[in-house]
Chains A and B, each alone.
Chain A
Amino acid sequence: MASQPEVRPPLSVLGGRPEGLAVKLRSLGEPREALPIPKAVVELLDESARRVVREPGAGPLRVSKSLLTLLDRCEALALAPAEPSPLTHAMAVGRLVDHSVAFALTRGVVDRPSVVAIAMAEASGDDELLSVLSGSVDTLTEEDQALLEEANSGAARLGTSRPRSVMALAQSSVEVPLGGRRVLLGGRFDVEFLRAGVPGSVGILEVKAGSFRDEHRADGYWYALLAALRDGVAPAWVIGWSPAAGEFDYFDAVHATAAASALVSAARRVSDAIDRLARLNESTEPLEIAVRRSGWWCGGCPLRAGCPLAPASAEGFDRTAAGRDEHDF
C-alpha cells in the first residue's frame, strides 16, 4: 500500500487571481537559505533502486507521476499495456490553458487568448490538439473561452511580479537517476521559475484547468521531491494554480519541518512503488502476483475482461459512486 502524506500544508483558495503566488514569485529574487534534502530521502530511494534488477540493454526502470498513480490504484492496471488514450475536449482545453499561461508570462495580456493559444499549438506541431478542436476557436465553449481569458490575465499579472533575475521555463523536463541508473524518476513542470545556479531558488507552478482534488497534493509532493533530488536542496515552493479555482499551496520550504516531512512522505511513496515494480518485473508471471484493486478506473482498463475484481455493472465504474477511490488521500 502506498504511503500516505503525513503533513498537510494549508490549502489557500483565493479565487482565480494568483496573489499569493505573486508574492512567492517575488521572493525568489531575494536571498534565501536553501533547505537541504533530508539524508533519509536519498538513502531510502537509493536502497530501493539498488535492489532493482535490470536486463542488460533494458535501460532504467522509469517512474513517472502517472505510473505512481496507476500503482496506487491497481498493480495490474500499472502493468497493462499502455494504450494511447484519445485526447478529450477537456484535455485539449487544459493544453490551451498551458499555452495561454506561457504566452502571458512572455508577452502579457492579449485580446483573444484562445486564438493565440491555438496558434501556439499550431507552431508546436500539436496536431492531436488541433484535430480535437478542428483547429478552430469555434469549437470552444463560452466557459472554455472564459477560462483561457482568466488564465491569460492571471498569468500576465504574475509575469509582472517576476524579478528580472528569475527565469521562467515552460514545460521544464526533469530526470533523476537513482541507484547507478537502475531507476530513472522523470517528470515535467508546467512552469519552473529559477535563478540560475542559486540553490533553492526554484519555484514550481502546476497549472490546472479544472478544480483541485485532495489527491493532487501527492502530485505536488512528487514535484517537490523531483526538484529536491535533482538539486540537492528543496525547491522554495510548489504551487498549483487554476484560473477557475485559485491556488493550492502544495509545498513551501519556509516551513522547514513540514517541508522535510513532505519530502520524506513522497520518498516513501516512490520507494514503495520501486519495490513493487521490482517485484513485478522479476516475476515471470507478473499479472498473477499483481495486487489488484477495483474502482472506477476498471472502466478504462484493458485487462477488465479477464479480471476477477472488475465490477460487473456500469455503476462500478462511476467515479462518483459511493466508496470510490479508496486510495484518494
Chain B
Amino acid sequence: MTSEPAVSEILDRVAAAVASLAPAEGEGRPGRDRLVWINQHIVTGALTCPRSVADGGTYVESAANLRRRVGTYALVETAEAEQSGRPIDNLRAARRVVQEADDLLGSNVASWIEGLAPGGRTAVVVEAAAWMGSVLDTLARSVDEHVSWNWQRPQVWREWTPPGSAVLFRARADALSTNNLRSPALSALIVLDRSADLQRDRIEAGFLAVVSAAVSGLAPRSVALCRVRERRIEPVPVDDALLEAAAAAIVAGVEAKVAGLGASAVPGRHCRWCAVRPVCPDAAPG
C-alpha cells in the first residue's frame, strides 16, 4: 500500500530533480516538440547503460515494431465482435486493424503499410495476431473473477510534465481493469513480450505507477505484468518501496537522456543491439 503523503513527497522530489536537470526555458509550458520525452524504454534502458538512451539510430518501422499497437487494437476489435455476437479470431481481427490503418494507426504508419509490397501487410497481420493470441491465452489461463481487462483505442498513455521542467514523461498501460474505470486508483496491465528481467520489469511497473499518480493524484493499487512468453500474470503491488525505486530510476533516466553521449557507458552483451553502438567508443566488441 502507498500512503498519500509519501506519494506526494516522492512526486515532489522527482519534480524538483527533473526541473533541475532539464529546466523549462522562458515562461509558460514549452511545446511538446521542445520537451525531452522520457518513456519506459529510457527509464529501464538507463539501468543497463546510461549512454544507451542517447539519441542514436534512426527508427525504422517494421512488422515487429507495430505488433503491440496493431495487436492492442485487434483485441478491441475482438471484444467488440464478441459483444455483437459475431466472434472473430486473432488473424481476422489483426487484418481488420491493418485494413483500417488510416483511421486507426495514424498517417505515418498507414503510408508505411500502404507502401509495402504484396505480402508485407500480411507480415504485419501475422506479427500482431501472434502477439494478441499470446495475450489472450495468458489472460485466459489467469482468470481472476475480480478483474477483467479493458483494451483501449487509442492506447493508454499517461503523460506528465513536472512544473518548471522541460520533460514529458510518457508511461504506457496496455489495459486497465474495467471494474474500476471510474476510480482514479486503477489497476493497470503491461504486456511484456520479452524475457523477464525482474529488476527492469519492476521499474517499468513503478514508472507507470509514478506517472499515473502524478496525473490522477493517486497511485494505482497494483500493476499486472502479463508475461506472455511464460503465459502468466505477475501482480506487482504498488507500495512506497516500488515508488521510491522507480523515482530513483526516473531521475537517473532523465539525467542519462540529458547527458546523451556524454553519459557513462556500461559495456556488455547488450552493446550488440544498442542503437548508439555506431557512435559509442566504449561499445563491447562482438
Q: Contact string, A154-190, partner B, CB cutoff 8 A, digits 1/0?
A: 0000000000110111111111110001001010000
For B119, B120, B198, the residue with the greatest tally of chain A CB atoms inside 10 Å of its CB is B119
Interface status of A99 (Cβ within 8 A of chain B): yes
Contact assessment for B231 and A122 in the assembled complex, using a CB-CB cutoff below 8 Å:
no
B-side contacts of A118, CB under 8 Å: 117, 119
Report yes or no: A116 in contact with B229, Cβ–Cβ below 8 A.
Answer: no
The residues of B that contact A122 with a CB separation of less than 8 Å are: 116-117, 120
Q: Quick check: B134 and A172 within 8 Å, CB to CB?
A: yes
CB of A115 within 8 A of CB of B119, answer: yes
Interface string of B71-97 (1 = CB under 8 A from A): 000000000000000010111000100
**Given A125-B60, A184-B195, A169–B122 Cβ distance below 8 Å?**
no
Q: Which 3 residue pairs of A and B lie closest in terms of their CB atoms, listed nearest first?
A: A197-B140, A119-B119, A116-B119
B196 touches A (CB below 8 Å): yes
**Is B280 interfacial (CB-CB < 8 Å)?**
no
- Does A120 contact B64, Cβ atoms closer than 8 Å? no
Contact assessment for B118 and A115 in the assembled complex, using a CB-CB cutoff below 8 Å: yes
CA distance A81 to B284 in the complex (A): 14
Main secondary structure of the interface of B (DSSP, over half): helix
Confirm or deny: B143 has a beta carbon within 8 angstroms of a beta carbon on chain A.
Answer: yes
Cross-chain contact A169 with B116 (CB below 8 angstroms): no
Q: Are B122 and A102 in contact (CB under 8 A)?
A: yes
Interface string of B24-50 (1 = CB under 8 A from A): 000000000000000000000000000
- Determine whether A89 belongs to the interface, using a CB cutoff of 8 Å to chain B: no
- Whether A175 and B134, one on each chain, are in contact in the complex, defined by CB atoms closer than 8 angstroms, is no
Does A231 sit at the interface, judged by CB under 8 A? yes
How far in angstroms is the closest Cβ of chain B from A158?
Answer: 13
CB contacts (< 8 Å) of A120 on chain B: these are 63, 119-120, 122-123, 126
Chain B contacts for A169, CB-based, 8 A: 90, 129-130, 133-134
User: Would A168 and B91 be within 8 Å (CB), given that A173-B229, A176-B230, A194-B137 are in contact?
Assistant: yes
Asked if residues A167 and B230 are in contact (CB atoms below 8 Å), the reply is: no
Using CB atoms, name the residue of chain B closest to A120: B123
* Cβ-based interface call for A251 (8 A): no
Total chain A interface residues with beta-carbon distance under 8 A: 42
- CB of B144 within 8 Å of the partner chain: no
B195-249 interface (Cβ within 8 A of A):
195-198, 228-231
Residues of A within 8 A of B143 (CB): 197
CA distance A102 to B123 in the complex (A): 8
Q: Which of A121, A164, A169, A173 has the most CB of B within 10 A?
A: A169
Once the chains bind, are B196 and A119 in contact (CB under 8 Å)? no
A-side residues, CB < 8 A to B, are 59, 81, 99, 102-103, 105-107, 110, 115-125, 164-165, 167-177, 181, 184, 186, 194, 196-198, 230-231
A59–B194 alpha-carbon span in the complex (Å): 14
> Which residues on B sit within 8 Å (CB–CB) of A105?
91
A197 to B140, CA, bound (A): 4
> Within the assembled complex, what's the spacing in Å between the Cα atoms of A181 and B130?
25
B62 sits at the interface (CB 8 A): yes
User: B125 in the interface, Cβ–Cβ < 8 Å?
Assistant: yes
Please give me the residue from chain A that is nearest to B66 by CB atom.
A123
A-B contact pairs, 6 of them (CB 8 A): A106-B126, A118-B119, A168-B129, A169-B129, A231-B141, A231-B231
Chain A residues with CB under 8 Å of B118's CB are 110, 115-116, 119
Q: Which residue in A59, A103, A167, A168 is a CB contact (below 8 Å) of B122?
A: A103
Q: A106–B122 contact, CB under 8 A?
A: yes
Choose from A59, A116, A167, A177 the contact partner of B90 (Cβ within 8 Å): A167
B124 contacts partner chain A, Cβ-Cβ < 8 Å: yes
Considering the chains assembled together, what is the distance between the CA atoms of A208 and B118 in angstroms?
24
Report chain A residues within 8 Å CB of B137. 167, 194, 196-197
**Assembly CA distance A172 to B231 (angstroms):** 11
Question: In the complex, which residues of chain B have a beta carbon less than 8 angstroms from the beta carbon of A176?
Answer: 230
- Is A174 in contact with B63, judged by CB distance below 8 angstroms? no
- Cβ contact within 8 Å between A175 and B119: no
* A171/B130 contact (C-beta < 8 A), A116-B122, A117-B119 known: yes
| B5 at interface by CB-CB < 8 Å | no
- Contacting residues, chain B, for A175 (C-beta < 8 A): 195-196, 229-230
Q: Measured between C-beta atoms, what is the minimum distance from A188 to chain B in Å? A: 10
> Within 8 Å CB of B229, what residues of A?
173-175, 186
| Closest chain A CB from B204 CB (angstroms) | 17
Bound Cα distance from A176 to B196, whole angstroms: 10
**B65 proximity list for chain A (CB < 8 A):** 125
Q: Measured between C-beta atoms, what is the minimum distance from A228 to chain B in Å?
A: 12
Contact present for A125 and B119 (CB under 8 Å): no
Q: How far is the CA of A172 from the CA of B135 in the complex (A)?
A: 11
Least Cβ–Cβ distance between B35 and chain A, in angstroms = 29
Contact assessment for A123 and B116 in the assembled complex, using a CB-CB cutoff below 8 Å: yes
Q: A59-B197, A123-B116, A164-B89 are in contact. Are A170 and B122 (CB under 8 A)?
A: no
Interface check B251, CB cutoff 8 A = no
Give bound CA distance, A105 to B193, whole Å: 23
B116 partner residues in chain A, CB cutoff 8 A = 119, 122-123
